[in-house]
Structure 1
Amino acid sequence: MATTRPFAHKVVYQVYPKSFADSNGDGVGDLRGIINHVDHIASLGVDAVWMNPIYPSPGKDNGYDVADYTAIDPAMGTMADFEELVAALKAHNIDVMLDMVFNHCSDQHEWFRRALAGEAKYQDYFIIRDKDDITSWESKFGGPAWSPFGDTGRYYLHLFDPSQPDLNWRNPAVRQECANIVNFWRSKGVAGFRFDVINLIGKDEVLRDAPEGVDERDMYTDGEIVHDYLRELAARSFGRDDNHLTVGEMSHTSIAHCLAYTGAERGELDMTFSFYHLKADYVDDMKWTDGSFQPGKLIHILHAWNEGLSAGDGWPAWFLNNHDQPRALSRFGDPENYPFESASMLGALVVLNRGTPYVYMGEEIGMTNPDYAGVADLVDVESHNAYRILLSQGLDEDTVWRIVKAKSRDNSRSPMQWDDSEFAGFSTHYPWLLPTNQDSINVQAARALQERLAREGVRGQDEVGSPREVLGFYRALVDIRHREEVFAHGDYVAHQPDSDSVYAFIRQHRGTRMLVACNLTAEGQSLRLPEGFVGARVFLTNGAAHPAAGLVRLDPYQVIVYRAVDGLRG
């Protein structure tokens, strides 16, 4: 029997603090900027806010190179600001979730500086080897994964940037340090924790190159000992709280591993992020390629992971947008011709799915990729590295820029667009990263449209009375997630899993069945209804409320949800 999880109804809103709102006019987002917009967050009805790193950092990887885990970056504000933000959100029953970057830290962290200074205790906090004992692994940001450890003649491992040395989790002192960090933030009222690339912490004591035919990532990912480490961390920290919410970002993982991480009785994590579904516009599963979106690929991966996790009672965290991904509306929709339909359909795909939905800032108003002119407009270290590497492979500059422009992480990191002013209401100063299309997409305009359509009585002819604009539709989705138990706790059954255009699934729970059908194309598509749904009521849609005949037409980018007439019979 499937476990009923107490957090299953919750919706998480992700804020990238550097890009949300700038309160002091320095061009960089900060904590007070978030405080100033708590009303907007609360209006969405969400249950938790996940913030990307807010700690002191040199900024080589936008805060994921942490120099001090228990302090606030001065550019973000003060600890008093953070405490005020926690209180302001809690006044709306919204919890705070923080990023814990425990696979690596910054080379400016005290631990690494003391290691470089020769302190043996802190040298054991890192993975340091003689030259003859290092592997040929490649960094995830490009280039070798090993760099010289000062002038010692030895080398340290960094699976990411050289400024991000990997921590040695085989050292019990490191594990205790991490538990202490979690407990520090628990004492500040933090209830949720997102663990960055946490499945990389279980590296073998003796590191080896991959045998021929084996992906080298398999040599350091999802080690069996990761489960021991997570259980220990939970027992020492967040596992002591009834109201915790934890998610592990899983790099290059599998359904079987995610089942193990999220098993309700295992005492590890509440849920996991995986990324295979976001490779639907990759060529040969490679990010920096000139591929086009393949709806069928996304559909098949979503079905496989949902069915696998549902069957094994594991729990996913579902998202299409985050700080590391281009805007989903630009990738998987048609913001030029079908902006509302695309945005609302993609939102429903996430929020009505089995698992915990994550909504990324700006998604609720239909933000798209910015229109940057060239690589000089980008800040992201990964994008600049990819640009150089692709040029070195002989690709012409136009092709390289087309690839990097489409795949850059800066697509999602451009400032939140609050109004149509020069800097989008984000700042009064030239921002760290420019917005480009705030004249047409911004919160102020979204609210005005919502108010106008409400006055005119423009709503869908369905059970929910679906709003016909993006912001209102997202608010409706969150409300549905809270009040319809079938979407929080229901099982997942794939419908027409071989379709290359329509993603359809059934959610069923305690006598209620809902069919969710999403057309991922700009063409009309047909959907054959399963038994029990012919004659069903239209529960929700972003378009025409097509009657539930045996064969239903879906308009471009339409989502339609039917409530079955027969409960669980049939």
Structure 2
Amino acid sequence: MSTNTLTTLENVDREWWKEAVVYQIYPRSFSDTDGDGVGDLQGIVDKVDYIDSLGVDLVWLCPVYGSPNEDNGYDISDYHAIMDEFGDMADWERLLDELHDRDIRLIMDLVLNHTSSEHEWFQRSRRGEGEYADYYYWRDGRPATDADYDTDDGPADEVAPNNWDSIFGGPAWSYVEEREQWYLHLFDENQPDLNWRNPTVRQAMKDVVSWWLDRGIDGFRMDAVSHMSKTDGLPDGDPEGTPTGIEHFSHGPRLEEYLTELSADVLSDHDITTVAEMGHTLIEQAADYLDDEAIGLDMIFQFSHMGVDGGWDPETVGEWDLPEFKRIMSERQDALADRGWDALFLGNHDQPRIVSRFGDEAYHRESASLIGTFLLTMRGTPYVYQGEEIGMTNADFESLDEIDDPQTVGRVEQYIADGVADSYEELREVVNARSRDHARTPMQWSDEPGAGFTDGEPWLKCNADYTEINVAAQRDDPASVLNQYRRLIDLRQSTDVLVYGDYELLAPEDDQLYAYTRTLDDERALVVLNWSSEPATFEGSEIEVDDPTVLYGNYDDAPTEPTNVSLRPWEAVVYRL
């Protein structure tokens, strides 16, 4: 329970981005109009009316820049161009206009930490050309005397400059014979890290930010922000770290300086919103960043709740505990109550499908709408990832050949190399629980071949359940997941207490119920979620009730009284008390 002063509308700092509901689009998998099996910008334009029908206020567009696509667009080779598969700049401008015509804002996904190895900057850097020589992290190798540094790369008598691991698995260094040096890549080897210590690099990235803001966008989601600064000297990391070296390339000593400079020189001159992805960030760290206006971040994607179900550990994957989840989420709510604003999410392009992860596919409609209720009634800005609004589920990847995601491939190969498993088949369960590709299977528009996503062969196989779970099947069904999301989005946008109200957790140790109140001035809302596949009873003896009203229920006949109420499996009810 928060101990902060109760919030009133008088003391609320109202902002459009706090009151927004965000819809995240992964263009490659959203809608294909030219039959090549890859989504494109025209496909998004064609679906703008659908996006508008959801009631969302803001679209987050995953990268559409020029890219060789080694990491699905997060390896940018040209910040000022559109990837050929997606269309051209005229298509992008048409999309921006169509969204703005419907009062829907657009934020772009900006990769600040690294570029593609095919970017002109890196090509010139690898040749040691002039100012570009120091655009990236180049180092000499070490004598090949330490097995901890051993790689298959580089000269026979040399190993990598330090023992850091890539976040995608394997060493964080690759050798370039042309320059006779190693370069740092915290992600894929085709994603070299920019050297933000170099003021010329910082200016180049500020120019990129300005270029897009001049085209009328409404902000940025900033990728991998927490890795932009590295410890001086790039020292060895603790071999027990996961990944090794993380203490030296996460939240480095100059990160706040870089962000403050970017904000002061560019961002602060525009009415936009910024949300930073910060992996390996504690909630108190996030609060510190958000509490400092000079840093210029409105929200942070912080992942404390994303490890609750065992991560990539084959022994524990999928196991999670509701009281622990409530504790983590309540800690976030309390830590940011007076110091910042949360980015609310359970799924995105890097996470498995939320129904498969936190729900029950046997109670598909009920659990999908319950999870939606949770996202849309907490304090913070909710981010709905494409397909969540129809309850898309995890696919079944039968072999490694069906996987596109380099992170998944890297982890599987590392597990096999380390002797954790002998084959993919032994890791199939963890892959089918955790792979990022679950979020990237094509959007399921209809039961037609290709899920209505494409007339061609989709770049990634469609989930087999598209014949049952799709937009067309749900569009006109009032009880569908799709229409539950529409109701919930409308409720949030018309109910200030669900946006700005204080949060108080009830029954913290209950292993079935997640219940909480939201309070703003003299208005209180109660959210009761039976987060389980068995009936549950909510006593509610600790709350005062006076003429309650049901604002939302995911069953037709929601209980009208919020105390001593029997809830059916995955039942969600929102009351005004």
TM-score (norm 2): 0.90
SS in 1 for 2:350: coil
Which residue in 2 is equivalent to 1:457? none
* Whole-angstrom CA distance in 1 between matches of 2:315 and 2:14: 39
* Whole-angstrom CA distance in 2 between matches of 1:195 and 1:380: 20
* Whole-angstrom CA distance in 2 between matches of 1:309 and 1:428: 46
Which residue in 2 is equivalent to 1:78? 88
Which residue in 1 is equivalent to 2:415? 390
Q: Which residues of structure 1 form unaligned runs of 5+?
A: 451-467, 565-570
* Whole-angstrom CA distance in 1 between matches of 2:492 and 2:416: 46
The answer on whether the counterparts of 1:10 and 1:481 sit within 8 Å (CA) in structure 2 is no
SS in 2 for 1:539: strand
Residue 536 of structure 1, CA deviation: 2.7
Which residue in 2 is equivalent to 1:499? 510
Residue 288 of structure 1, CA deviation: 5.6
SS in 2 for 1:69: strand
* Whole-angstrom CA distance in 1 between matches of 2:403 and 2:545: 49
Residue 207 of structure 1, CA deviation: 1.5
Which residue in 1 is equivalent to 2:300? 272
Residue 516 of structure 1, CA deviation: 1.3
Does structure 1 residue 538 correspond to structure 2 residue 550?
yes
Does structure 1 residue 524 correspond to structure 2 residue 549?
no
The answer on whether the counterparts of 2:477 and 2:483 sit within 8 Å (CA) in structure 1 is no
Does structure 1 residue 448 correspond to structure 2 residue 448?
no
Which amino acid counterpart does residue 315 of structure 1 have in structure 2?
W
Q: Residues 237, 549 of structure 1: CA spacing in aligned structure 2 closer, same or farther, 3 A cutoff?
A: closer
Deviation per residue, 1:403-422 (Å, 9 max, x gap): 11221111110001111111
SS in 1 for 2:264: helix
Residue 562 of structure 1, CA deviation: 1.9
Deviation per residue, 1:93-113 (Å, 9 max, x gap): 011111110111110001100
Residue 63 of structure 1, CA deviation: 0.7
Does structure 1 residue 69 correspond to structure 2 residue 94?
no
2:247 to 218, 221, 241: 218
Which residue in 2 is equivalent to 1:477? 488
Residue 267 of structure 1, CA deviation: 4.4
RMSD, aligned CA: 1.9
The answer on whether the counterparts of 1:325 and 1:411 sit within 8 Å (CA) in structure 2 is yes
1:87 to 87, 90, 97: 97
Residue 371 of structure 1, CA deviation: 3.1
Deviates more, 1:128-137 or 1:64-73: 128-137
1:348 to 373, 398, 420: 373
SS in 1 for 2:201: helix
Residue 556 of structure 1, CA deviation: 1.1
Which residue in 1 is equivalent to 2:124? 114
The answer on whether the counterparts of 2:317 and 2:433 sit within 8 Å (CA) in structure 1 is no
The answer on whether the counterparts of 2:527 and 2:574 sit within 8 Å (CA) in structure 1 is yes
SS in 2 for 1:424: helix
Which residue in 1 is equivalent to 2:261? 232
* Whole-angstrom CA distance in 2 between matches of 1:264 and 1:483: 30
Q: Residues 549, 163 of structure 1: CA spacing in aligned structure 2 closer, same or farther, 3 A cutoff?
A: closer
* Whole-angstrom CA distance in 1 between matches of 2:429 and 2:449: 26
Does structure 1 residue 157 correspond to structure 2 residue 184?
yes
Structure 1 residues 334-413: aligned runs within 5 Å: 334-335=360-361, 337-392=362-417, 393-397=419-423, 398-413=425-440
Q: Residues 286, 362 of structure 1: CA spacing in aligned structure 2 closer, same or farther, 3 A cutoff?
A: closer
Deviates more, 1:28-37 or 1:169-178: 169-178
Q: Residues 394, 170 of structure 1: CA spacing in aligned structure 2 closer, same or farther, 3 A cutoff?
A: closer
Deviation per residue, 1:150-185 (Å, 9 max, x gap): 343321111111111111111111111111111111
1:27 to 37, 48, 56: 37
**Identity of paired residues, percent?**
41
The answer on whether the counterparts of 2:267 and 2:296 sit within 8 Å (CA) in structure 1 is no
Q: Residues 277, 521 of structure 1: CA spacing in aligned structure 2 closer, same or farther, 3 A cutoff?
A: same
SS in 1 for 2:82: coil
The answer on whether the counterparts of 1:287 and 1:407 sit within 8 Å (CA) in structure 2 is no
Deviation per residue, 1:345-364 (Å, 9 max, x gap): 00011111111100011111
Q: Residues 150, 518 of structure 1: CA spacing in aligned structure 2 closer, same or farther, 3 A cutoff?
A: farther
Which residue in 2 is equivalent to 1:460? none
Residue 134 of structure 1, CA deviation: 2.5
SS in 1 for 2:60: strand
SS in 1 for 2:136: coil
The answer on whether the counterparts of 2:68 and 2:77 sit within 8 Å (CA) in structure 1 is yes
Residue 535 of structure 1, CA deviation: 5.5
Which residue in 1 is equivalent to 2:270? 241
1:18 to 25, 28, 35: 28
Which residue in 2 is equivalent to 1:488? 499
Which residue in 1 is equivalent to 2:150? none
Deviates more, 1:252-261 or 1:73-82: 252-261
2:209 to 152, 177, 182: 182
2:357 to 320, 331, 344: 331
Q: Which residues of structure 2 form unaligned runs of 5+?
A: 143-159
Which amino acid counterpart does residue 127 of structure 2 have in structure 1?
A
Deviates more, 1:246-255 or 1:386-395: 386-395
Does structure 1 residue 201 correspond to structure 2 residue 214?
no
Residue 234 of structure 1, CA deviation: 1.5
Q: Residues 345, 188 of structure 1: CA spacing in aligned structure 2 closer, same or farther, 3 A cutoff?
A: same
The answer on whether the counterparts of 1:261 and 1:271 sit within 8 Å (CA) in structure 2 is no
Residue 425 of structure 1, CA deviation: 0.9
* Whole-angstrom CA distance in 1 between matches of 2:315 and 2:41: 36
The answer on whether the counterparts of 1:295 and 1:521 sit within 8 Å (CA) in structure 2 is no
Residue 217 of structure 1, CA deviation: 1.5
Q: Residues 82, 116 of structure 1: CA spacing in aligned structure 2 closer, same or farther, 3 A cutoff?
A: same
* Whole-angstrom CA distance in 1 between matches of 2:21 and 2:193: 32
* Whole-angstrom CA distance in 1 between matches of 2:315 and 2:168: 15
The answer on whether the counterparts of 1:290 and 1:403 sit within 8 Å (CA) in structure 2 is no
Deviation per residue, 1:84-126 (Å, 9 max, x gap): 0000000110111111101111100011000111214112111
The answer on whether the counterparts of 2:170 and 2:410 sit within 8 Å (CA) in structure 1 is no
Deviation per residue, 1:483-528 (Å, 9 max, x gap): 1111111122222222332222221112111121222211122223
The answer on whether the counterparts of 1:288 and 1:386 sit within 8 Å (CA) in structure 2 is no
Q: Residues 202, 346 of structure 1: CA spacing in aligned structure 2 closer, same or farther, 3 A cutoff?
A: same
Q: Residues 48, 200 of structure 1: CA spacing in aligned structure 2 closer, same or farther, 3 A cutoff?
A: same
Residue 221 of structure 1, CA deviation: 1.1
Which residue in 1 is equivalent to 2:141? 131
SS in 1 for 2:446: coil
Deviates more, 1:82-91 or 1:535-544: 535-544
SS in 2 for 1:126: coil
SS in 1 for 2:413: helix
The answer on whether the counterparts of 1:55 and 1:63 sit within 8 Å (CA) in structure 2 is yes
SS in 2 for 1:523: coil
* Whole-angstrom CA distance in 2 between matches of 1:71 and 1:491: 44
SS in 2 for 1:185: helix
The answer on whether the counterparts of 1:247 and 1:269 sit within 8 Å (CA) in structure 2 is yes
Residue 549 of structure 1, CA deviation: 5.3
Residue 538 of structure 1, CA deviation: 2.3
The answer on whether the counterparts of 1:387 and 1:401 sit within 8 Å (CA) in structure 2 is no
SS in 2 for 1:232: helix
Q: Residues 418, 484 of structure 1: CA spacing in aligned structure 2 closer, same or farther, 3 A cutoff?
A: same
Deviation per residue, 1:438-475 (Å, 9 max, x gap): 1101111111324xxxxxxxxxxxxxxxxx22111111
Which residue in 2 is equivalent to 1:4? 13
TM-score (norm 1): 0.91
Which amino acid counterpart does residue 509 of structure 2 have in structure 1?
D
The answer on whether the counterparts of 2:226 and 2:279 sit within 8 Å (CA) in structure 1 is yes
Residue 238 of structure 1, CA deviation: 2.4
Which residue in 2 is equivalent to 1:305? 332
* Whole-angstrom CA distance in 2 between matches of 1:40 and 1:58: 30
* Whole-angstrom CA distance in 2 between matches of 1:253 and 1:19: 29
Q: Residues 549, 118 of structure 1: CA spacing in aligned structure 2 closer, same or farther, 3 A cutoff?
A: closer
